[in-house]
């Protein structure tokens, strides 16, 4: 049976106001459920109900999952005094939205943003070895043996070397190299530090895949969309969540 919750609690969680503000809003007749005005903050509603507060439709799904093509220049934090954050690109006032993992300020690409703490935790947990694939432009050509080095693991200055990673050299020229690298960990600045370990510098970095979720090519940097049901199901399967 579908779970029903108090309307004042749901609207407060969605950021329509504090619980006491919402109570006043409801009592003054500014909220409708399935087209009917409700006046009791105790009214119970479920995810199928059509709730509108001050003319704005409330999305009552249990959780929300956004796929953002993160542009360079913003940070993966809820608030930041100096920098723009990824949340300035997502038009959603929900308070408990978090990015799944962090990308550096200058890194672009696939960033999942959700209020599903369990899925977030499982995707980031080292125990699940969730794959992350990056495209990178490197400052100089890369030798074939780098593939073997990255497969075995390299010393990036932590307690232990990196775990197995897969390097694909897409294009090597005299001045630079375009690569795809898949890692199964999420250490701080990991990709940049792995290339530093072999004497190279990352000029440009973009995440293109997380587990089996691909970056949507139709999303321009700064654009986002919700995950499809299939994408979400597949993602949950990767961490044995159904
Ligand atoms: N590795 C990095 O070095 N930076 C990122 O943003 C992600 C992975």
Q: Each residue of 78-127: pLDDT tens digit? A: 999 999 999 999 988 777 899 999 999 999 999 999 999 999 999 999 88
Q: What is the pLDDT of residues 194-223, one digit of tens each?
A: 999 999 999 999 999 999 999 999 999 999
| 185 Cβ closer than 6 Å to some ligand 1 atom | no
- Find the range with the poorest average confidence among 61-70, 102-111, 144-153, 191-200: 61-70
Residue 205 Cβ inside 6 Å of ligand 1? The answer reads yes
Q: Is 181 in the pocket of ligand 1 (CB under 6 A)?
A: no
Taking the CA of residue 194 as reference, the ligand 1 atom at the shortest distance is 3
Q: In this structure, what CATH number is given to the domain that contains residue 117? A: 3.30.70.580
| Residue 39 three-state SS | coil
| Residues noted as catalytic | 104
pLDDT surpassing 70 at residue 1: no
Give the whole-angstrom CA distance, residue 172 versus residue 151. Answer: 19
What's the CA gap between 111 and 201, in Å, rounded? 23
- End-to-end distance of the chain based on CA atoms, in angstroms? 17
Q: Is the CB of 191 under 6 A from ligand 1?
A: yes
Q: What is the pLDDT of residue 238?
A: 93
Nearest CA to ligand 1 atom 7: 103
Whether 33 and 143 map to the same domain: the answer is no
Q: Provide the whole-model pTM.
A: 0.84
Instruction: For residue 139, tell me if it sits in a domain.
Output: yes
Total number of residues shown for the chain: 242
Closest Cα partner for 156 from 187, 113, 111?
187
158 in a domain, yes or no?
yes
Domain limits at 205? 131-210
Number of structural domains in the chain: 3
């Amino acid at each position: 049976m579908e779970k029903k919750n108090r309307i004042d609690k749901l609207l407060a969680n969605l950021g329509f106001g504090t619980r006491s503000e919402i109570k006043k809003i409801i009592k003054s007749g500014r909220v409708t459920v399935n087209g009917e005005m409700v006046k009791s903050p105790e009214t119970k509603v479920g995810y199928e109900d059509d709730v509108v507060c001050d003319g704005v439709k409330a999305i009552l799904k249990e959780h929300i999952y956004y796929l953002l093509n993160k542009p360079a220049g913003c940070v993966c934090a809820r608030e930041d005094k100096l920098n723009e954050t990824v949340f300035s690109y997502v038009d959603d006032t929900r308070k408990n939205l978090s990015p799944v993992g962090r990308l550096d300020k200058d890194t672009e690409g696939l960033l999942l943003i959700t209020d599903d703490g369990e899925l977030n935790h499982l995707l980031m947990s080292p125990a699940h070895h969730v794959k992350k694939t990056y495209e990178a432009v490197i400052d100089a050509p890369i030798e074939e043996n780098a593939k073997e080095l990255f497969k075995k693991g390299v010393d990036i200055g932590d307690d232990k070397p990196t775990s197995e990673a897969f390097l694909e050299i897409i294009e090597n020229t005299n001045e630079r190299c375009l690569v795809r690298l898949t890692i199964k960990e999420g250490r701080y600045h990991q990709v940049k530090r792995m290339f530093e370990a072999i004497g190279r510098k990352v000029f440009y970095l973009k995440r293109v895949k997380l587990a089996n979720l691909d970056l949507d090519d139709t999303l321009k940097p700064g654009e986002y969309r919700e995950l499809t049901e299939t994408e979400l199901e597949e993602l949950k399967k990767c961490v044995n969540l159904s």
